[in-house]
Amino acid sequence: MHRVSRRHVIATLTSSTVLLCPAILNAQSVQLDWDNVPTDTPLGQNQLIEVAAGPATVEISALAPGEVAVIARPTEDPEYSATGMIQYIAVHHRTEAQIAFGAANDRDGTVQDPAYFVVNLVCSHRGKAIGLTGNPDAPFACTDRGSRHSSVFDASGFGVSGASEDEYLSVPDYTISANGSDVVLTLT
């Protein structure tokens, strides 16, 4: 008969304990007071602009540096299933510090005007709505604050913690034209 020695049992129990110890340690970063906020719509924006489906032109001249306008546009893309089939697009008017941060960190081709960061507010993890935190270093965060979600993104849309760490938020097709104080965003 095959023998399982006491040593085998001890080794198995010890290694299982080591494997299960992640359950005891629960690392959390960037504390937000967002308990039980809706996860299908952004929050924290300074302006909410609703447009019809399809191409749209939006005027955002009144947006001050540090402020965020959110454009809500109906879509058929299943990517937006968790936000009620609405594509939420943020236009973040960057501060001087954020423009400098963007110059060093923006991905090529994602930013047309360094003062304005345009990004889809759909989490790269499971498609929940992204909210605006008001934190200049981490302006975007997933509205789902569950233990296995909680993504936080920096001013270039790069995931710095949570489930979307090391992933970028997606960027819509757009053009932006700033003529003095007139700023117009066109979504294609």
Partner 1 sequence: MTYTRTQISLHWITAILILVMLGTGLAYSYDLADSGAIATHQIAGQVLIVVLVARMLAKFRNRRAVRQTAHARWERMTAHSVHIGLYLCLIAFVVTGYVAASALRDPMLVFPADLAFARSETGEAFLDTHFLMKWVLLGLLAAHFAGSIKHHFIDRDDTLSNMTFSTRKD
Binding site for partner 1 (CB under 8 A): 1-2, 4, 9, 16, 19-20, 22-23, 25-28, 78-79, 81-82, 124-127, 147-148, 161-163, 165-167
Q: Which is nearer to partner 1, 27 or 104 (CB)?
A: 27
CB of 134 to partner 1, least distance (A): 23
CB of 40 to partner 1, least distance (A): 10
CB of 143 to partner 1, least distance (A): 13
Q: Which is nearer to partner 1, 7 or 64 (CB)?
A: 7
Q: Which is nearer to partner 1, 14 or 28 (CB)?
A: 28
Helices (H) and strands (E) in the chain, counts: 2, 11
Helix H or strand E encompassing 183: strand 182-187
